[in-house]
């Protein structure tokens, strides 16, 4: 069986050494030494400041909304945020959970990212933020989005779940926006089993978020306001430290597999148009077919050969009833109906990759 993805498991010996230390200290959570070490190393590796590690990627989004004053829980006044329908459901459901209506605007038919040309017409007096997604790690048009946000005095939170270690014009893509969030889930390029991260533009926002994720505590007897428990624990941090040590192997292997797909399948499928200023981290291997009928036939053929792909992202979120979208996003619906993510994971063998390609070329 060839899965669509497989979690990367680092050196067991190194992980055991970290776990031995956890047992010796009996410090399992609450800003432990491994969490502090991972935070520092990630800031250096990614080229960012003001990074906050949390327990998962969905909470990373929710904490960012809360910190930046986007959330609307407990209020009667309506609030909206403009976002993309071509994304994992957590992008929109995290807004809805925080009392903010996701207002979908369409994507570019080539980049599959939120099209800035569609944003301004959707802005109303209720709009508090723009929440774009760097889809599959492809950089959005960050300059255009920033200009719109500045003009209308809106916050920008980038869902950068797929954009770990992606640089844009020589610097980290995570430095754009008021905040950028990462998912560090087991299936991601870099992971902490479960986990997430927020990179804030301003240190004051980081400091506020540090209190929010710890029940709103500013000190043992100082409750600064409402909070939640979103802390990352020491076992998650231990896994992250081990995986980070092996990132060169992970990224090199992914690059070889991704480039092989692009080389061998060119002319058979359509690939995402990459932002010329951004790098690819080969987090995913999405391909586009001529029609949904063709996609379903290929998906079935892959399953017959014990190869598992994924219709990611499907469906387009403006199709879902509970979001009550007033916009029909034609590009998103079209792309979502024809896209398939092929198997890609760091320890994928040449034989497995060749088998996938052979099935698609039949």
Pairing of strands 127-131, 155-159: parallel
Do 199 and 180 contact (CB within 8 A), yes or no?
Answer: yes
In this prediction, residue 325 has a pLDDT band, given cuts at 50, 70 and 90, of confident
The pLDDT of residue 219: 80
State the greatest distance between any 2 C-alpha atoms of the chain, in Å, as a whole number: 67
The rounded distance, in Å, linking the Cα atoms of 295 and 340 is 7
In this prediction, residue 336 has a pLDDT band, given cuts at 50, 70 and 90, of very high
The pLDDT of residue 60: 98
Clarify whether 201 is annotated catalytic: no
Q: Residue 75 above 70 pLDDT?
A: no
Cα distances (Å, whole numbers) of residue 83 to 147, 196, 240: 16, 20, 30
User: Average pLDDT for residues 93-115, to the nearest whole number?
Assistant: 97
Hey, what are 4's tokens? 């669509």
Polymer length in residues for the chain: 362
The reply to whether the predicted model has a pTM over 0.85 is: yes
At the top level of CATH, which class does the domain 246-361 belong to? alpha beta
User: Average pLDDT for residues 86-99, to the nearest whole number?
Assistant: 97
Q: What is the CA radius of gyration of the chain?
A: 21
Domains 12-105+112-244 and 246-361 agree in fold: no
Domain ranges of the chain: 12-105+112-244, 246-361
Give 240-291 pLDDT, tens digit per residue. 999 999 999 999 999 999 999 999 999 999 999 999 999 999 999 999 999 9
At the top level of CATH, which class does the domain 12-105+112-244 belong to? alpha beta
Do 41 and 71 contact (CB within 8 A), yes or no?
Answer: no
User: Average pLDDT for residues 209-215, to the nearest whole number?
Assistant: 96
The pLDDT of residue 74: 61
Backbone angles phi and psi of 5, in degrees to 5: -155, 165
Give 199-211 pLDDT, tens digit per residue. 999 999 999 999 9
Percentage of the chain modeled with pLDDT above 70: 99
Q: Residue 99 above 90 pLDDT?
A: yes
In this prediction, residue 221 has a pLDDT band, given cuts at 50, 70 and 90, of confident
Which one is catalytic: 101, 155, 188, 201?
188
User: Average pLDDT for residues 298-304, to the nearest whole number?
Assistant: 98
């Amino acid at each position: 069986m060839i899965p669509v993805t497989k979690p990367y498991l680092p050196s067991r010996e190194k992980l055991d050494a970290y776990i031995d230390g956890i047992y010796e200290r009996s410090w399992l959570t609450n800003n432990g030494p491994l969490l502090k070490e991972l935070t520092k190393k990630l800031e250096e590796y990614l080229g960012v400041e003001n990074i906050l590690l949390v327990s998962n990627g969905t909470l990373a989004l929710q904490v960012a909304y809360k910190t930046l004053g986007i959330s609307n829980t407990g209020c009667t006044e309506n609030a909206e945020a403009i976002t993309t329908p071509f994304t994992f459901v957590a992008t929109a459901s995290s807004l809805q959970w925080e009392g903010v209506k996701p207002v979908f605007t369409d994507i570019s038919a080539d980049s599959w990212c939120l099209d800035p040309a569609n944003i301004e017409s959707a802005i109303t007096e209720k709009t508090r933020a723009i929440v774009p997604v760097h889809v599959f790690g492809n950089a959005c048009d960050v300059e255009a989005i920033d200009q719109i946000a500045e003009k209308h005095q809106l916050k920008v939170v980038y869902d950068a779940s797929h954009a770990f270690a992606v640089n844009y014009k020589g610097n980290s893509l995570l430095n754009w926006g008021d905040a950028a969030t990462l998912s560090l889930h087991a299936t991601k390029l870099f992971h902490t089993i479960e986990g997430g991260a927020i990179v804030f533009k301003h240190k004051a926002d980081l400091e506020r978020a540090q209190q929010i994720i710890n029940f709103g505590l500013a000190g043992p007897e100082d409750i600064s306001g409402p909070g939640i428990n979103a802390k990352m624990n020491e076992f998650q941090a231990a896994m992250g430290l081990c995986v980070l040590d092996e990132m060169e192997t992970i990224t090199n292997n992914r690059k070889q597999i991704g480039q092989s797909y692009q080389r061998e399948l060119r002319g058979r499928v359509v690939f995402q148009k990459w932002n010329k200023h951004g790098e690819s981290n080969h987090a995913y291997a999405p391909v586009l077919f001529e029609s949904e009928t063709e996609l379903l036939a290929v998906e079935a053929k892959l399953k017959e050969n014990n190869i598992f792909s994924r219709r990611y992202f499907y469906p387009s979120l403006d199709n879902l009833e509970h979001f009550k979208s007033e916009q029909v996003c034609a590009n998103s619906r079209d792309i979502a109906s024809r896209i398939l993510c092929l198997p890609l994971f760091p320890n994928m063998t040449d034989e497995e990759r060749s088998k996938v390609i052979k099935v698609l070329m039949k």
